[in-house]
Structure 1
Protein backbone atom coordinates (compact mmCIF):
# COMPACT_ATOMS: atom_id res chain seq x y z
CA UNK A 1 0.00 0.00 0.00
CA UNK A 2 1.32 3.40 -0.92
CA UNK A 3 0.64 6.25 1.46
CA UNK A 4 0.56 9.64 -0.19
CA UNK A 5 0.44 13.18 1.07
CA UNK A 6 -3.18 14.24 1.35
CA UNK A 7 -4.87 17.58 1.27
CA UNK A 8 -5.33 18.09 5.01
CA UNK A 9 -8.38 20.34 4.61
CA UNK A 10 -10.08 17.78 2.37
CA UNK A 11 -9.31 14.98 4.82
CA UNK A 12 -10.68 16.97 7.77
CA UNK A 13 -13.88 17.78 5.85
CA UNK A 14 -14.29 14.15 4.76
CA UNK A 15 -14.01 12.71 8.28
CA UNK A 16 -16.03 15.51 9.86
CA UNK A 17 -18.81 14.85 7.32
CA UNK A 18 -18.80 11.15 8.18
CA UNK A 19 -19.36 12.02 11.85
CA UNK A 20 -22.12 14.51 10.95
CA UNK A 21 -24.02 11.97 8.87
CA UNK A 22 -23.18 8.60 10.42
CA UNK A 23 -23.60 7.06 13.86
CA UNK A 24 -23.21 3.57 15.26
CA UNK A 25 -25.28 1.18 17.35
CA UNK A 26 -23.62 1.97 20.68
CA UNK A 27 -24.09 5.72 20.17
CA UNK A 28 -27.74 5.20 19.22
CA UNK A 29 -28.28 3.01 22.30
CA UNK A 30 -26.67 5.71 24.46
CA UNK A 31 -28.88 8.38 22.86
CA UNK A 32 -31.98 6.26 23.60
CA UNK A 33 -30.85 5.82 27.21
CA UNK A 34 -30.25 9.58 27.54
CA UNK A 35 -33.72 10.35 26.20
CA UNK A 36 -32.41 12.28 23.19
CA UNK A 37 -35.07 13.55 20.79
CA UNK A 38 -34.87 11.52 17.56
CA UNK A 39 -36.73 8.81 15.70
CA UNK A 40 -35.03 5.54 14.78
CA UNK A 41 -36.32 4.23 11.45
CA UNK A 42 -36.02 0.64 10.26
CA UNK A 43 -35.92 0.96 6.47
CA UNK A 44 -36.09 -2.78 5.72
CA UNK A 45 -39.03 -4.55 4.14
CA UNK A 46 -41.99 -6.05 5.95
CA UNK A 47 -40.69 -9.64 6.30
CA UNK A 48 -37.39 -8.68 7.99
CA UNK A 49 -39.20 -6.21 10.27
CA UNK A 50 -41.35 -9.05 11.61
CA UNK A 51 -38.30 -11.35 11.99
CA UNK A 52 -36.58 -8.92 14.33
CA UNK A 53 -36.13 -5.21 14.98
CA UNK A 54 -34.68 -2.69 17.37
CA UNK A 55 -36.89 -1.84 20.33
CA UNK A 56 -38.16 1.72 19.87
CA UNK A 57 -37.72 1.85 16.08
CA UNK A 58 -40.53 2.64 13.70
CA UNK A 59 -40.95 0.73 10.45
CA UNK A 60 -40.76 2.75 7.26
CA UNK A 61 -39.31 0.94 4.23
CA UNK A 62 -37.19 3.29 2.14
CA UNK A 63 -39.55 3.09 -0.84
CA UNK A 64 -42.41 4.38 1.36
CA UNK A 65 -40.53 7.34 2.87
CA UNK A 66 -41.58 10.01 0.35
CA UNK A 67 -45.28 9.21 0.77
CA UNK A 68 -45.43 8.48 4.53
CA UNK A 69 -42.63 10.29 6.38
CA UNK A 70 -44.44 13.59 6.94
CA UNK A 71 -47.44 11.77 8.47
CA UNK A 72 -45.23 9.83 10.90
CA UNK A 73 -42.34 12.14 11.82
CA UNK A 74 -42.34 15.92 12.30
CA UNK A 75 -39.86 17.60 9.95
CA UNK A 76 -38.08 19.13 12.97
CA UNK A 77 -37.36 15.72 14.54
CA UNK A 78 -33.92 14.25 13.78
CA UNK A 79 -33.97 10.82 12.17
CA UNK A 80 -31.55 7.89 12.38
CA UNK A 81 -32.01 5.16 9.76
CA UNK A 82 -30.84 1.56 9.64
CA UNK A 83 -31.15 -1.44 7.38
CA UNK A 84 -29.66 -4.97 7.57
CA UNK A 85 -25.95 -4.28 7.94
CA UNK A 86 -22.72 -3.26 6.28
CA UNK A 87 -23.46 -5.34 3.17
CA UNK A 88 -26.71 -3.47 2.48
CA UNK A 89 -27.21 0.07 1.22
CA UNK A 90 -30.91 0.33 2.09
CA UNK A 91 -30.16 2.72 4.95
CA UNK A 92 -28.19 4.93 2.56
CA UNK A 93 -31.23 5.05 0.26
CA UNK A 94 -33.44 5.85 3.25
CA UNK A 95 -31.09 8.61 4.43
CA UNK A 96 -31.13 10.09 0.93
CA UNK A 97 -34.95 10.05 0.89
CA UNK A 98 -35.16 11.80 4.28
CA UNK A 99 -32.51 14.32 3.20
CA UNK A 100 -34.47 15.16 0.06
CA UNK A 101 -37.51 15.82 2.26
CA UNK A 102 -35.53 18.22 4.47
CA UNK A 103 -34.98 16.06 7.56
CA UNK A 104 -31.82 16.08 9.64
CA UNK A 105 -30.73 12.46 9.22
CA UNK A 106 -27.94 10.11 10.21
CA UNK A 107 -27.25 6.61 8.97
CA UNK A 108 -26.53 3.96 11.61
CA UNK A 109 -23.50 2.12 10.27
CA UNK A 110 -23.51 -1.58 10.99
CA UNK A 111 -27.31 -1.64 10.84
CA UNK A 112 -29.49 -4.23 12.53
CA UNK A 113 -26.72 -6.84 12.28
CA UNK A 114 -24.29 -4.95 14.49
CA UNK A 115 -27.00 -3.80 16.87
CA UNK A 116 -27.89 -7.47 17.44
CA UNK A 117 -24.24 -8.59 17.55
CA UNK A 118 -23.56 -6.04 20.28
CA UNK A 119 -26.29 -7.70 22.37
CA UNK A 120 -28.53 -4.63 22.33
CA UNK A 121 -32.29 -4.99 22.82
CA UNK A 122 -34.22 -6.52 19.92
CA UNK A 123 -37.70 -7.95 19.52
CA UNK A 124 -39.71 -9.88 16.97
CA UNK A 125 -43.43 -10.43 16.66
CA UNK A 126 -43.28 -12.93 19.55
CA UNK A 127 -41.45 -10.64 21.98
CA UNK A 128 -37.96 -9.97 23.29
CA UNK A 129 -34.94 -11.75 21.79
CA UNK A 130 -31.82 -12.29 23.86
CA UNK A 131 -28.56 -12.67 21.96
CA UNK A 132 -25.08 -13.21 23.30
CA UNK A 133 -22.68 -10.34 22.76
CA UNK A 134 -20.19 -10.97 19.96
CA UNK A 135 -16.87 -9.96 21.52
CA UNK A 136 -15.54 -9.12 18.04
CA UNK A 137 -18.03 -6.26 17.81
CA UNK A 138 -18.46 -5.27 21.45
CA UNK A 139 -15.48 -6.25 23.59
CA UNK A 140 -15.81 -6.15 27.35
CA UNK A 141 -13.90 -3.40 29.10
CA UNK A 142 -12.90 -3.13 32.71
CA UNK A 143 -15.64 -4.19 35.09
CA UNK A 144 -17.26 -6.35 32.38
CA UNK A 145 -19.09 -3.48 30.72
CA UNK A 146 -19.33 -3.51 26.92
CA UNK A 147 -16.92 -0.95 25.54
CA UNK A 148 -15.13 -0.54 22.24
CA UNK A 149 -12.92 2.01 24.03
CA UNK A 150 -13.13 4.38 21.11
Structure 2
Protein backbone atom coordinates (compact mmCIF):
# COMPACT_ATOMS: atom_id res chain seq x y z
CA UNK A 1 0.00 0.00 0.00
CA UNK A 2 2.86 2.40 0.71
CA UNK A 3 4.06 2.08 -2.88
CA UNK A 4 0.64 3.00 -4.24
CA UNK A 5 0.28 5.93 -1.88
CA UNK A 6 3.71 7.25 -2.80
CA UNK A 7 3.05 6.79 -6.52
CA UNK A 8 -0.22 8.74 -6.51
CA UNK A 9 1.08 11.40 -4.14
CA UNK A 10 4.07 12.02 -6.39
CA UNK A 11 1.92 11.97 -9.53
CA UNK A 12 -0.25 14.77 -8.13
CA UNK A 13 2.88 16.84 -7.50
CA UNK A 14 3.56 16.92 -11.24
CA UNK A 15 0.13 17.01 -12.88
CA UNK A 16 -2.98 19.15 -12.60
CA UNK A 17 -6.38 19.02 -14.29
CA UNK A 18 -8.40 21.96 -15.60
CA UNK A 19 -10.81 22.05 -12.64
CA UNK A 20 -7.97 22.12 -10.10
CA UNK A 21 -6.15 24.78 -12.12
CA UNK A 22 -9.21 27.00 -12.17
CA UNK A 23 -9.75 26.40 -8.45
CA UNK A 24 -6.24 27.48 -7.48
CA UNK A 25 -6.50 30.52 -9.76
CA UNK A 26 -9.62 31.56 -7.83
CA UNK A 27 -7.81 31.19 -4.50
CA UNK A 28 -5.25 33.79 -5.54
CA UNK A 29 -2.25 31.46 -5.56
CA UNK A 30 0.47 32.73 -7.88
CA UNK A 31 0.20 30.65 -11.05
CA UNK A 32 1.59 31.25 -14.52
CA UNK A 33 -0.02 29.22 -17.30
CA UNK A 34 2.52 28.45 -20.02
CA UNK A 35 1.51 27.51 -23.54
CA UNK A 36 4.51 25.47 -24.65
CA UNK A 37 3.40 25.23 -28.31
CA UNK A 38 4.43 27.42 -31.21
CA UNK A 39 3.55 31.14 -31.20
CA UNK A 40 1.20 30.51 -34.15
CA UNK A 41 -0.76 27.88 -32.24
CA UNK A 42 -0.99 30.26 -29.28
CA UNK A 43 -2.37 33.06 -31.48
CA UNK A 44 -5.01 30.72 -32.87
CA UNK A 45 -6.29 29.55 -29.49
CA UNK A 46 -5.07 29.50 -25.92
CA UNK A 47 -6.15 29.45 -22.30
CA UNK A 48 -7.05 32.95 -21.08
CA UNK A 49 -4.19 34.53 -19.18
CA UNK A 50 -1.61 32.10 -20.54
CA UNK A 51 1.75 33.21 -21.82
CA UNK A 52 3.30 31.89 -25.01
CA UNK A 53 6.65 30.29 -24.23
CA UNK A 54 7.51 27.51 -26.69
CA UNK A 55 9.43 24.66 -25.08
CA UNK A 56 12.15 24.97 -27.72
CA UNK A 57 12.94 28.46 -26.41
CA UNK A 58 13.26 27.59 -22.71
CA UNK A 59 16.85 28.11 -21.64
CA UNK A 60 18.56 29.59 -18.62
CA UNK A 61 19.01 32.95 -20.37
CA UNK A 62 15.39 33.09 -21.62
CA UNK A 63 13.87 32.17 -18.26
CA UNK A 64 15.90 34.55 -16.12
CA UNK A 65 13.03 37.06 -16.18
CA UNK A 66 10.54 34.53 -14.77
CA UNK A 67 9.55 34.72 -11.12
CA UNK A 68 10.77 31.90 -8.90
CA UNK A 69 7.98 32.10 -6.32
CA UNK A 70 5.10 30.95 -8.52
CA UNK A 71 3.70 27.68 -9.82
CA UNK A 72 4.09 27.20 -13.58
CA UNK A 73 1.51 25.06 -15.38
CA UNK A 74 2.50 23.96 -18.87
CA UNK A 75 0.09 22.83 -21.56
CA UNK A 76 -0.05 21.96 -25.25
CA UNK A 77 -2.78 20.62 -27.57
CA UNK A 78 -3.43 17.46 -25.60
CA UNK A 79 -2.70 13.77 -25.61
CA UNK A 80 -1.21 13.71 -29.11
CA UNK A 81 1.27 16.47 -28.28
CA UNK A 82 4.19 16.45 -25.86
CA UNK A 83 5.18 20.12 -25.86
CA UNK A 84 3.78 20.49 -22.33
CA UNK A 85 5.93 17.59 -21.11
CA UNK A 86 9.02 19.03 -22.77
CA UNK A 87 8.26 22.47 -21.34
CA UNK A 88 7.67 21.08 -17.85
CA UNK A 89 10.92 19.15 -18.06
CA UNK A 90 12.88 22.24 -19.14
CA UNK A 91 11.37 24.45 -16.43
CA UNK A 92 11.91 21.80 -13.74
CA UNK A 93 15.50 21.33 -14.90
CA UNK A 94 15.98 25.07 -14.48
CA UNK A 95 14.63 24.98 -10.93
CA UNK A 96 11.03 26.13 -11.34
CA UNK A 97 8.01 24.59 -9.61
CA UNK A 98 5.96 23.19 -12.47
CA UNK A 99 2.98 20.98 -13.18
CA UNK A 100 1.67 19.69 -16.49
CA UNK A 101 -1.98 20.26 -17.42
CA UNK A 102 -3.57 16.86 -18.01
CA UNK A 103 -5.13 16.67 -21.47
CA UNK A 104 -3.89 20.11 -22.45
CA UNK A 105 -6.05 22.57 -24.34
CA UNK A 106 -8.30 19.77 -25.63
CA UNK A 107 -9.44 18.59 -22.20
CA UNK A 108 -9.57 22.16 -20.90
CA UNK A 109 -12.20 22.87 -23.57
CA UNK A 110 -13.99 19.53 -23.02
CA UNK A 111 -14.44 20.51 -19.38
CA UNK A 112 -16.31 23.59 -20.63
CA UNK A 113 -13.76 26.32 -20.04
CA UNK A 114 -13.52 29.21 -22.47
CA UNK A 115 -10.49 29.89 -24.63
CA UNK A 116 -9.35 32.94 -26.55
CA UNK A 117 -7.51 33.61 -29.78
CA UNK A 118 -8.18 33.98 -33.49
CA UNK A 119 -9.85 30.57 -33.84
CA UNK A 120 -11.39 30.29 -30.37
CA UNK A 121 -15.11 29.47 -30.29
CA UNK A 122 -17.27 32.56 -29.97
CA UNK A 123 -20.05 30.87 -28.03
CA UNK A 124 -19.97 31.88 -24.37
CA UNK A 125 -19.47 29.13 -21.83
CA UNK A 126 -22.63 28.86 -19.77
CA UNK A 127 -21.76 25.96 -17.49
CA UNK A 128 -18.53 24.26 -16.65
CA UNK A 129 -19.07 20.56 -16.13
CA UNK A 130 -16.29 18.66 -14.46
CA UNK A 131 -16.61 14.96 -13.84
CA UNK A 132 -14.04 14.84 -11.04
Q: Assess same fold via TM > 0.5.
A: yes
Deviation for aligned residue 1:39: 0.5
Partner of 2:13 in structure 1?
Answer: 20
Partner of 1:147 in structure 2?
Answer: 130
The alignment status of 1:61 with 2:54, answered yes or no, reads yes
Equivalent of 1:117 in 99, 110, 115: 110
Structure 1 contact 52–122 (Cα < 8 Å) conserved: yes
**Structure 2: tracts of 5 or more residues without a match:** none
Could you list the per-position Cα deviations for residues 94-144 of structure 1 after superposition, in whole angstroms to 9, with x for gaps in the alignment? 1100001100110111101111122212111477733778xxxxxxxxxx7
Listed as ranges, the matches of 1:1-150 within 5 Å are 8-66=1-59, 67-71=61-65, 73-125=66-118, 129-130=122-123, 146-148=129-131, 150=132
Name which structure has the greater RCO, CA cutoff 8 Å, separation 6+.
2
Mapped to 1, the partners of 2:92 and 2:39 lie a distance apart of 23
**Structure 1: tracts of 5 or more residues without a match:** 1-7, 134-143
Mapped to 2, the partners of 1:121 and 1:13 lie a distance apart of 34
TM-score, length of structure 2 as denominator length: 0.87
TM-score, length of structure 1 as denominator length: 0.78
**What is the root-mean-square deviation of aligned Cα atoms in Å?**
2.2
